[in-house]
Amino acid sequence: MIAVEFDHDIGLLTVRVESPRTPMGCPTCGVIAGSHGRRDVVLVDAPCFDRPVRLIWRKRTWRCVEPSCPTKVFTEQDEQVARPRALLTTRACWWAINQIRREHTSISGIARQLGTTWNTVWSSIRPLLQEMADDNSRFAGVKRLGVDEHVWHHVSEFPIEDGGRGPKQLTGMVDLTPDEYGNPRARLLDLVPGRSGKAYSDWLKERGEDFRDGVEVATLDPFHGYKNAIDDQLEDAVAVLDAFHVVKLGTQAVDEVRRRVQQEIHGHRGRKNDPLYGIRMILRCGQEKLTDRQRARLDKAIAADERHDEVLAAWLCAQQLRSAYQATSPVEGRRIAEKVLASLPTCPIPEIKRLGKTLKQWREAFLAYFDTGRANNGGTEAINGLIELHRRIARGFRNREHYRLRMLLIGGGLTHPHLR
């Protein structure tokens, strides 16, 4: 460092630096080169004292004295300061990347703090993100794999080559392998276009045999496309149906029964003073969480008409399904789950009967929850929450590859010593 200046009018801190004088060999022939003067290179540095910083690097230039050497003049480079032809210093690039990952900052917000533009920031950090994304070592050690889909844009699905954004839905793969202490961890491994078994299967093929052989448990939502991909590519892995989505199916069946009974009795959808409409939220609660007041409201609504007993029966079936996951031990939970599988398919209530048939189709994946240490897809849903957060922060994305890199960063899928 040779000088520091502060411009009070624009609030800009300027730092001037230069390297010490040392002998320099030509990068082509190795002959000691002669000095050819200096030139100033202006770089955007990480902010300091809540002010943007400009780094003026007085680069040394040399001239090769070997007549036969094709290199005539060259300039010093130091990637610890900045990459060749960079606009941001290396420190500023990693500062920006960590701001995105840890502080959930938008690119526009980072650009304002650095006193530069959105394009300057993104064009500077994108190569670093791409290098980390291309590192296949980040796929090592995956023993539990989760999969889920989400919608990344809400506009037309014209092909990218025609100016569109392509498919709305993406399939996300998440590493759910616990750490050395047994604590659940989740990190996003990749996002691929489409919601289909083929999209998942093709991704698994690309990972190679070593990756597939290492996966012991594969969690998923009740979607047969993903299940077929697991059966095809992860033959030795145990497929586990996510507990949250199983309970959701039970709650959905109760809602369908309530709406049907409402229509049969009143001939219209639920209204404010209808008994069943008044308890619609109570019917979505766990039985053990009901207060005395809620219990009284439930009993009163059911007693208002004997035809409401069908709703109560459906609710009790859903509570029995839920109790399998609330059991104190996996053995007790499996016993309840097997009882549910035996009773629900014969239930006279059509919605509950359909639920029972669905669970029967997923029998092995449903019961596997109790044999795999309660493996579930909760970590995948948590990653989806982060993705939704950053999509809102960015106010939408136009470029899917930019979207993928940003989400891999905030989802923990990229690794580097400079990432905190």
Whole-angstrom Cα distance, residue 219 to residue 264? 39
Tokens 């793969």 -> residue: 173
Asked if the model's pLDDT at residue 117 lies above 90, the reply is: yes
Q: Quick one: 22 and 103 in the same domain?
A: yes
Helix (H, G, I), strand (E, B) or coil at 175: strand
- How do residues 77-91 score in pLDDT, each as one tens digit? 888 999 999 999 999
CA–centroid distance for 176 within its chain: 12
Query: What residue numbers bound the domain in which 236 lies?
Result: 142-240
CA distances from 97 to 8, 75, 102, 131, 414 (A): 28, 28, 9, 13, 11
Is 385 domain-assigned?
no
Q: What is the pTM of this model?
A: 0.88
Per-residue pLDDT, 21: 84
Q: Quick one: 118 and 146 in the same domain?
A: no
- Which pLDDT band, with edges at 50, 70 and 90, does 209 fall under? very high
Asked if the model's pLDDT at residue 339 lies above 90, the reply is: yes
Per-residue pLDDT, 348: 94
CA distances from 290 to 171, 251, 296 (A): 37, 15, 10
Q: Work out the average pLDDT over 163-178.
A: 92
Per-residue pLDDT, 190: 96
CA distances from 117 to 6, 44, 111, 172, 348 (A): 21, 11, 5, 31, 65
Is 395 domain-assigned?
no
**Of 205, 240, 275, which closes a domain?**
240
Is 69 domain-assigned?
yes
> What number of other Cβ atoms are within 10 A of residue 290's Cβ?
14
Q: Quick one: 264 and 203 in the same domain?
A: no
Q: Quick one: 216 and 261 in the same domain?
A: no
**Of 84, 112, 133, which closes a domain?**
133
Per-residue pLDDT, 34: 83
Whole-angstrom Cα distance, residue 222 to residue 225? 9
User: For residue 237, what are the contacts with CB-CB under 8 A and spacing of at least 6?
Assistant: 145, 215, 216, 217, 218, 230
Per-residue pLDDT, 164: 82
Per-residue pLDDT, 277: 94
Per-residue pLDDT, 22: 84
Whole-angstrom Cα distance, residue 187 to residue 412? 5
Per-residue pLDDT, 183: 83
Per-residue pLDDT, 41: 92
Is 336 domain-assigned?
yes
- Which pLDDT band, with edges at 50, 70 and 90, does 166 fall under? confident
- Output the average pLDDT for the chain: 93
The secondary structure element, H or E, covering residue 405 is helix 400-410
Cβ atoms 30, 55 nearer than 8 A:
no
Least reliable range by pLDDT among 120-134, 150-164, 166-180, 333-347: 150-164
- Which pLDDT band, with edges at 50, 70 and 90, does 367 fall under? very high
Least reliable range by pLDDT among 19-23, 95-99, 389-393: 19-23
- Which pLDDT band, with edges at 50, 70 and 90, does 211 fall under? very high
Q: Quick one: 128 and 191 in the same domain?
A: no
- Which pLDDT band, with edges at 50, 70 and 90, does 198 fall under? very high
Q: Quick one: 89 and 147 in the same domain?
A: no
CA distances from 259 to 148, 253, 298 (A): 29, 10, 16
Is 316 domain-assigned?
yes
Amino acid code (one letter) for 103: E
Least reliable range by pLDDT among 27-31, 102-106, 210-214: 27-31
**Of 369, 385, 403, which closes a domain?**
369
Per-residue pLDDT, 360: 96
Per-residue pLDDT, 143: 95
Asked if the model's pLDDT at residue 181 lies above 90, the reply is: no
Asked if the model's pLDDT at residue 158 lies above 90, the reply is: no
Asked if the model's pLDDT at residue 2 lies above 90, the reply is: no
Of 247 and 4, more confident:
247
Cβ atoms 155, 165 nearer than 8 A:
yes
Amino acid code (one letter) for 118: W
The secondary structure element, H or E, covering residue 118 is helix 118-133
Q: Classify residue 43 by burial, with Cβ atoms within 10 Å: 0-12, 13-18, 19+.
A: buried
Q: Which two tokens stand for residue 290?
A: 């009901």
Q: Work out the average pLDDT over 184-198.
A: 93
Alpha helices in 172-286 (DSSP H): 197-207, 209-214, 224-233, 243-266, 275-278
Q: What is the largest CA-CA distance in the chain?
A: 104
Per-residue pLDDT, 281: 95
Per-residue pLDDT, 8: 78
Alpha helices in 208-242 (DSSP H): 209-214, 224-233
- Which pLDDT band, with edges at 50, 70 and 90, does 416 fall under? very high
Q: Quick one: 263 and 315 in the same domain?
A: yes
CA 341, 346, 352 angle in degrees (round to 5)? 75
Q: Quick one: 91 and 125 in the same domain?
A: yes
Q: Quick one: 181 and 235 in the same domain?
A: yes
Helix (H, G, I), strand (E, B) or coil at 32: strand
Closest CA to 165 of 414, 402, 332, 419: 402
> What number of other Cβ atoms are within 10 A of residue 202's Cβ?
15
Whole-angstrom Cα distance, residue 73 to residue 242? 63
Whole-angstrom Cα distance, residue 317 to residue 313? 6
Q: Quick one: 190 and 126 in the same domain?
A: no
Q: Quick one: 289 and 350 in the same domain?
A: yes
Per-residue pLDDT, 238: 96
Amino acid code (one letter) for 60: R
Per-residue pLDDT, 413: 93
Whole-angstrom Cα distance, residue 27 to residue 69? 10
Q: Quick one: 216 and 249 in the same domain?
A: no
- How do residues 21-45 score in pLDDT, each as one tens digit? 888 888 888 888 888 888 899 999 9
